[in-house]
Amino acid sequence: MEVSALKIIAYGIRDDERPYVEEWSKDQNIEVKIVKDLLTDDTVDQAKGFDGAVVYQQKPYTASVLDRLAELGVKNLSLRNVGVDNVDADAVKRNDIKVTNVPAYSPAAIAEFTVTELMRLLRHTTQYEHRQAKGDLKWTPDIATELNSLTVGVIATGRIGRAAIQIYRGFGAKIVAYDVFHNPELEKEGIYVDSLDELYKQADVISLHAPATKENMHMLNADAFNKMKDGVYILNPARGDLVDTDDLIKALDSGKVAGAALDVYENEVGIFNTDFGSFDAIPDDRLKNLMKRENVLVSPHIAFYTTTAVRNMVQFALNNNKQLIETGKADNVVAFN
């Protein structure tokens, strides 16, 4: 079979992604150049001669990189993730670059992880593990709370939020939700509240699934924490910028927040997905403050990280890039206003 003349370069491909790139390339009969390095000023020239680029990185897609891509004639850019807040919108528009993302690679993966972390908090697993490592096998003093007795406030009811709601309901929890855009089915069930303040007032657990926007920056701050129930639990598998870290630390210190599960962190770029060799070498004192606490679960942005999600991220992005190259349109084009 003759190989298609269409050529795609894929940046930042990890070892766990490579088999899915190769599978797609073989199935589609399209050449895909695999590059382990991220798309940066140092690597952008490797895109010369290609029709499109598939990328994933936490670092910014800077104006200089996007300008150079356009100079090389590469104006089809497909992200293997959801967020586009690290893409220079002005450079995209100036160069007429078409950008796609993968808005739903596996809502279930993130929802399942979020609820798993909540159960660890409610059952005090970290405290028991620490005591058992010292030979202490007593039950007390960490008596658990049952999820079926709690009200969970879900902020944002997109695909991930709705998947989380389904799981919370399986445990018997009461659900209240807030979103600017109401899902028709959830609307019929009457679970929406009119304001975040009302959600804060009712919720024993707050499950964040909102995007990172200017309006949502530090959504959970001192003012928000003050409006919540004493002993509330905070779950953030969404975006680090949604939570003011300093205010969260103060709320943990005061006991206002009983526990938190953070899969994201507002200064995670350059820190998460990095091996520093030792705890002391981690270059962020606030993050280490959180990590030392038995009632805080910090994970390095891994809620998405399942075989299903990784395969979908890779192959959906490649499909999007193919569509852009062939038709100028795609299923998941991002509009930069």
Coil, helix or strand at residue 81:
coil
- Starting from the edge strand earliest in sequence, which strands make up the sheet with 31-34, in order? 31-34, 7-10, 52-55, 76-79, 98-100
Rounded to whole angstroms, the Cα distance separating 70 from 90 reads 13
Contact 234, 260 (CB under 8 A): yes
Task: Give Cα separations from 327 to 76, 103, 250, 330 (angstroms).
Answer: 11, 20, 52, 8
Q: Judge residue 225's burial from the number of C-beta atoms within 10 Å of its C-beta, 0-12 exposed, 13-18 middle, 19 or more buried.
A: buried
Which residues sit opposite 54 in a β-bridge? 10, 78
Contact 252, 293 (CB under 8 A): yes
Pairing mode, strands 31-34 and 174-178:
unpaired
206 phi/psi in degrees, rounded to 5: -115, 120
Rounded to whole angstroms, the Cα distance separating 100 from 274 reads 27
Coil, helix or strand at residue 162:
helix
Q: Mind telling me the catalytic residues?
A: 239, 268, 301
